[in-house]
A = this chain, B = another copy of it.
Amino acid sequence: MQQLKPSLALDMMGGDFGPQSTIPAALAALQEFPHLQLVLCGDQPVLEQALKLAGVVDEPRIRFVHSTEQVLMADKPALALRSKRESAMRHALELVEQEQVHACVSAGNTGALIAIAHYVLKMLNGVERPALISALPSCQGNPVYMLDLGATVNCDADTLFQFAMMGAVMAEQVIGIKAPRVALLNMGEEEIKGSDQIKRASQLLTECNGLNYIGYIEGNDIFSGKADVIVCDGFVGNVALKTCEGVAKLIIKRAQQSIKQRPLAALLSWLFKPVLKSLYQGMNPDHYNGASLIGLRGIVVKSHGNATKDAFLSAIRQAVREVERQVPAKIKDRLEQVLIDKA
């Protein structure tokens, strides 16, 4: 059997730093994955110049797609979809659609990426809406997958059901968890609580064989390790994820104040600074991991807008893993199986 040579299209112009972080990340990825092929989408002279400065000329595993436009972080999604047809983001997604590459990675405007990806790649059969999914830290060893983190604001019961299926496939395929425990995020663990959509989604999931649905989970258990996959609508997921970031900042700030107030602790605070720093970084998962946009007929990984080289590299790694595990095909198979079981 021939080994799969993963190929990725990278939106080199997205994010707060553009080529400054995407170029070193791309070069590190080529080193890490000897069979990786890259298509760099963006302003070709700028990219070639940056590669040259990094000592790279005529690298056979790199090719370029020149883009004359750029989706800005402030662009409205609908406008970016209509008017930025020659942008690196659009080109990268079109390369996936044309099957010239297996996946694309972007650190650009999230709303625009979702809108353009949805339009260019289309949804998988059986999936109505896309979801952003990310692996969060947990008190136990394994990370926990949470979706949707902001792609779909209002979700009906069927959409939440599909998200649960997709999340389970991600946990199985990407982390390798067998029969991942799937939970719905709710405001109480009792069956009587929550909105009508959530109650109906719970019923659909309870009736579904082939999914390890464990019921409702509350916000205080997102990180406890009780569940491997946590499902909610995009509004709630986005607020929860960003609230984590806010809490982490507040805790670090208070820890610093609290240390200052204790003279002996203040004297030895250099000892604990790396502890605080690593905590803060660990609590900002979306800065360090990519979020995958799933439910589409292609693999799209979104790196944080404030992505450093390491963050963008981590998003590339994630894309490679999803290519190797053929995530969209697995999601499609799983949803088709559910439809057959229901019929």
Contact = CB atoms under 8 A, between A and B. Distances in A.
Contact of A220 (B77, B220, B246, B262): B246
Nearest to A219: B242
Contacts of A259: 272, 275
Contact of A251 (B194, B241, B251): B251
Interface string A42-63: 0000000000000000000000
- Nearest 7 CB-CB pairings of A with B: A219-B242, A219-B243, A187-B238, A223-B250, A220-B245, A220-B242, A220-B246
Interface of A: 76-77, 111, 137-139, 150, 153-154, 185, 187-188, 190, 192-195, 218-224, 232, 234-236, 238-251, 253-255, 258-259, 262, 264-265, 268, 271-272, 274-276, 278-279, 282-283
Given A243-B244, A283-B251, A238 B219 contact: yes
A239 B242 contact: no
A195 B235 contact: yes
B254 A282 contact: yes
A246 B240 CA distance: 11
A195 B254 contact: no
Contacts of A262: 271, 274-275
Contacts of A241: 219
A249 B187 contact: no
A224 B252 CA distance: 12
A242 B247 CA distance: 11
Chain copies in complex: 2
Contacts of A243: 219-220, 222, 240, 243-244, 247
Contact of A224 (B195, B246, B254): B246
Contacts of A222: 243, 246
B244 A247 contact: yes
A292 B156 CA distance: 32
B250 A137 contact: yes
A275 B246 CA distance: 19
From A150, A218, A251, residue with most partner B Cβ within 10 Å: A251
Contacts of A255: 275-276, 279
A185 B239 contact: yes
B278 A258 contact: yes
17 contacts: A111-B188, A137-B250, A187-B235, A187-B239, A219-B238, A219-B241, A220-B245, A221-B246, A239-B240, A240-B243, A243-B244, A262-B271, A262-B274, A262-B275, A265-B275, A268-B268, A272-B272
Contacts of A279: 251, 254-255, 258
Contacts of A236: 235-236, 239
A68 B138 CA distance: 44
B154 A195 contact: yes
